[in-house]
Amino acid sequence: MKTKPNKKKKKPEIEIEYIEDDYIKSKTPLFGKIMLCILILYCITIFYFAALPADSIGSATIGNYAKLLHVLEFCGFIALSVLTLFAGIEWLSFWRINIIGIVLAASTELVQLISQGRTCSFSDFIFDIIGIISGWVILWILFSLLIMYLISMITEECARWY
């Protein structure tokens, strides 16, 4: 007498259907492209004003605020770069943003060597780097505050359930 081997029934496989729409299929959303164009225009503007001759920018009106302007322009660069990163430009990363910022700071100082009446200043370069660092610190503080706010909202919502 032969016994038949016990055949296990196969479990039905669950098929997962992925929904694809045009937004997911596109590599870079339109908002990311717009933000990248704004970032590039911002960098060109910084470079343009660095290349202007001294008599056309009126450095006497800037006075003691010149170093503050260096810090603020690179804080703005970091803010625009992070917005561009969040808008979907995937190749932009923390390190690439910093490298682009340092190259931009160095090139704006080096172009002043050939600008009439302008000088290349190492202290200006240092204030550009301080602007990059302070831009990251400001964004870190803002994101920390946002996360704390969201956590408080979640805990309040959870407290309503209990």
pLDDT at position 63, please? 62
Q: Centre a 10 Å sphere on the Cβ of residue 111 and count the other Cβ atoms it contains.
A: 16
Residue 6 inside a domain? The answer is: no
Of the candidates 124, 120, 119, 116, the one whose C-alpha atom is nearest the C-alpha of residue 55 is 116
- Residue 23 is predicted with a pLDDT of 47
Position 24 scores a pLDDT of 46
| Position 153 in a domain | yes
* CA-closest candidate to residue 81, choices 67, 100, 97: 97
Q: What is the largest CA-CA distance in the chain?
A: 109
Q: Is residue 101 part of a domain?
A: yes
Are the C-beta atoms of residues 43 and 80 closer than 8 Å to each other? no
CA–CA dist 138, 135 (Å, integer): 5
In a domain, 7, yes or no: no
- Measured from the Cβ of residue 132, the count of other Cβ atoms closer than 10 Å reads 22
Helix (H, G, I), strand (E, B) or coil at 130: helix
CB atoms within 10 A of CB 127: 21
**What is the domain extent for residue 107?**
27-55+63-161
4 within domain boundaries:
no
DSSP class of residue 17 equals: P
pTM exceeds 0.75: no
Q: Exposure of 57 by Cβ count < 10 A (0-12 exposed, 13-18 middle, 19+ buried)?
A: middle
Q: What is the pLDDT along the chain (162 residues), one digit of tens a residue?
A: 566 656 666 665 666 555 555 544 456 678 888 999 999 999 999 999 888 887 776 654 566 688 888 899 999 999 999 999 888 887 888 899 999 999 999 999 999 888 888 888 899 999 999 999 999 999 999 999 999 998 988 888 777 776
Cα 84 to Cα 90: distance, rounded to the nearest angstrom: 9
Q: What is the pLDDT of residue 144?
A: 93
Instruction: Give me the number of domains the chain comprises.
Output: 1
